[in-house]
Structure 1
Amino acid sequence: MAAMAGGHSAPRAPSEEEKAFLTSPPIRKLVEGAIKTNGGSDLTISELDPVLMTTQVVAGTNYKVKYHIGDEKYVHAKIFEPLPCYADEQKPEVSHFEMNKSKKDKL
């Protein structure tokens, strides 16, 4: 199902291209920073694997992502990626974040 402006797509596994973006050094730094500032400062992040996601097309793309961070630990992050034409003025950002999620939690 294709993403529509205003609505999120159905949850699905990320493509290889999406995984590359969602684990790229700048995005990894944003997500790890969100973990640290949301009570995970003593948490060991053994991996950062996007296992489930949705997208929403706006003036860029909102990604809702379930990351596996090691053991049975998961976090949910909403990441905004601006359109390429705005890349000079706007950078990707984590606009919402949730700690202490499980594999069974809905995204």
Structure 2
Amino acid sequence: MLPAAVVPGGLSETQPATPEIQRIVDAVKQQFEIRVNKICHIFTAIVYRAQVVAGINYFIKVQVADDDYVHLRVFQALPHENQGPSLVSFQTGKTRDDPLTYF
């Protein structure tokens, strides 16, 4: 599901997280926990941006503790490829007010 103002290759405007975005975040939670070597008891999507490529890159701000946020870059392949979301990259040490930008 994409916001209406997505331009192929460009990032959409920042949008509030939807149930679909939370499902994507839930799907990559274990990938994130393995890479940072810790368990996250909170893993809540806050906002996101999308980039249409040969699939979709999602840039998602996720709350992982009371005052601790991470930015995730998640790739979702095209539907006919039958692949789940994949955690491409992440940034830790973010705050609720940090802008969600390309990385």
Give the shorter-chain TM-score range: 0.7 to 0.9
Query: 1:27-86 CA deviation, whole Å, 9 max, x = no partner?
Result: 2212222332xxxx4xx5221001011011111110001100011010111000101212
- Length-normalised TM-score, structure 1: 0.79
Identity among equivalent positions (%) equals 28
SS in 1 for 2:22: helix
**What RMSD over aligned residues (CA atoms) do the two structures have, in Å?**
1.7
Q: List 4+ stretches of structure 1 deviating above 4 A.
A: none
> Could you tell me whether the CA contact under 8 Å between 2:24 and 2:85 is conserved in 1?
no
Q: Are positions 1:4 and 2:7 aligned together?
A: yes
Figure out how many residues of one structure are paired with residues of the other and give that number.
97
List alignment gaps of at least 5 residues for structure 2. Answer: none
Which is greater in Rg?
A: 1
SS in 2 for 1:23: helix
Q: Are positions 1:106 and 2:95 aligned together?
A: no
> Could you tell me whether the CA contact under 8 Å between 1:50 and 1:66 is conserved in 2?
yes
